[in-house]
Amino acid sequence: MRTAVLISGRGSNLQALIAAARPAEHPAEIALVLSNRPGAAGLGHATEAGIASQVVDQSAYAGPDRAAARAAFDAALSKALEAAGIEMVCLAGFMRVLTGDFVTRWRDRLINIHPSLLPAFPGLDTHARALAAGVKLHGCTTHFVREEVDSGPIIGQAAVPVLAADTPESLAARVLAMEHRLYPACLRLVAEGRAKVVGERVELVVTPSGGDSLMQPPS
């Protein structure tokens, strides 16, 4: 399955996806890395891995009519993806809210990873908000994308304990380590047809990992 990864920054989840997809037998091929920012550090990871990369510069799509500018940018994204023969799109730190038209166009072929156990803490500053709320488990979620931000059928989740001495930074580091395991595992399931949307829920075909697991699906 020809897969594109959309990034805006350093691309640490991109690195995890590239590494996981490297074996020839992997069901997903990272065929394109696309950024909305010309200076995104993650573009270098694509170059190092010999993967095609492209920039659709968001600054070129500005104007007084914000809705028209967003629509034009998203249309340019779709054009680039379709020109590369992309079948699946992974958002990996892509810091833009996509339009409803784009989400509909790529429905059930567009997945994201979010640094919280959705539906808790959608949006930004998830780690600080988790600490402020006093939760004892925090983590990350992969999901199919829908128009509402950080919503959509959940593919998988991974949790970490929240420690008494945690800061947003220390908690973020542990969650990020789990993201690097969860996202490749979920992309594999989707590419293999073992994670399917049925009635706005995801049905998984996986081997049970035991009742004490803090990651589902298991990596």
Determine phi and psi for 3, rounding to 5 degrees.
Answer: -120, 135
Residues 6+ apart with CB under 8 A from 153: 143, 144, 146, 197, 200, 201, 202
By the 8 A CB rule, do 209 and 215 touch? yes
Query: How far apart are the C-alpha atoms of 27 and 25, rounded to whole Å?
Result: 6
Determine phi and psi for 33, rounding to 5 degrees.
Answer: -115, 125
Any catalytic annotation for residue 143? no
Query: How far apart are the C-alpha atoms of 145 and 86, rounded to whole Å?
Result: 16
Of the residues 26, 45, 114, 127, which is catalytic? 114
Would you please indicate which residues are annotated as catalytic (active-site) residues? 114
